[in-house]
Amino acid sequence: MTMTRSQRYRSTSLPFSYREKGVQFSLETYSIDDQDPAPLDLKPGQTEIDLAGELPPPADDAVADWQTVALEGQLYISEETVDAVFPDEERDCPPAKLYVTIRCHETIYRDRVVVSDAPTTPGTYDVEIPIRKEKVRGR
């Protein structure tokens, strides 16, 4: 097998040097239409969440009876992360906006939820991601 130039670059340069010093993000609970939160049982590295079995069934076999699912969790940024990403003169007040992206492959839906406007300093941030039924495909 012959490696192309781009394959060689990827294997020698990725993951990027700051990857190990990146943000820590965890989703812990979900709620349906403002009901009490229920725990999410996600595996390490899991990037997709399927809640179809948790949603209320349709009352009349037409459209499922829910409007919004909210995913909740926390995002942690360490001092080490800020030091790895920003130059010295920007570290006291990092000019960064922090957000989480949302994707639904089946509907080609993409969106983001702003977690923090600039400046985004080291610390723990609460994250709530609302997902409206009309934006995704499924029940």
Residues 118, 34: Cα–Cα separation, whole Å: 29
Output 77 or 41, whichever has higher pLDDT: 77
pLDDT, mean of residues 20-49: 85
* Predicted pLDDT at 117: 92
Please count the residues of the chain. Answer: 139
Domain boundaries of the chain, sorted by first residue: 23-135
* Predicted pLDDT at 106: 76
Instruction: Tell me which long-range contacts 44-53 makes (C-beta under 8 A, separation of at least 24).
Output: 52/138, 52/139
* Predicted pLDDT at 3: 45
* Predicted pLDDT at 57: 67
pTM, two decimals, is 0.74
Which two tokens mark 115? 């977690």
pLDDT digits (tens, 9 = 90+) for 83-138: 888 899 999 999 999 999 888 777 788 899 999 998 999 999 999 999 888 887 65
Which two tokens mark 25? 């993000």
